[in-house]
Amino acid sequence: MIKIEAIVREDKFEDIKEALSKIEVNGITVSQVMGCGKQKGYKELVRGMEVAITMLPKIKFEIVVSNEEWEKKTIAAISAAAFTGNPGDGKIFSYDLRSIMRVRTKETGTAAIN
Element holding 69 (H helix, E strand) = helix 68-82
pLDDT tens-digit series, residues 42-76:
777 778 888 777 788 999 999 999 999 999 999 99
How far apart are the C-alpha atoms of 89 and 112, rounded to whole Å? 32
- Nearest one of 81, 98, 82 to 90, comparing CA atoms: 82
Whether the predicted pLDDT of 37 surpasses 80: no
Q: Which domains does the chain have, with CATH numbers?
A: 2-112 (3.30.70.120)
Is there a contact between 55 and 35 (Cβ–Cβ < 8 Å)? yes
Region for residue 106 given its phi and psi (left: phi exceeds 0; alpha: psi -120 to 50; beta: otherwise): left
What pLDDT is attached to residue 10?
96
How far apart are the C-alpha atoms of 20 and 14, rounded to whole Å? 10
Is there a contact between 66 and 12 (Cβ–Cβ < 8 Å)? no
pLDDT tens-digit series, residues 66-105:
999 999 999 999 999 999 998 889 999 999 999 999 999 9
Element holding 16 (H helix, E strand) = helix 13-22
How far apart are the C-alpha atoms of 63 and 1, rounded to whole Å? 11
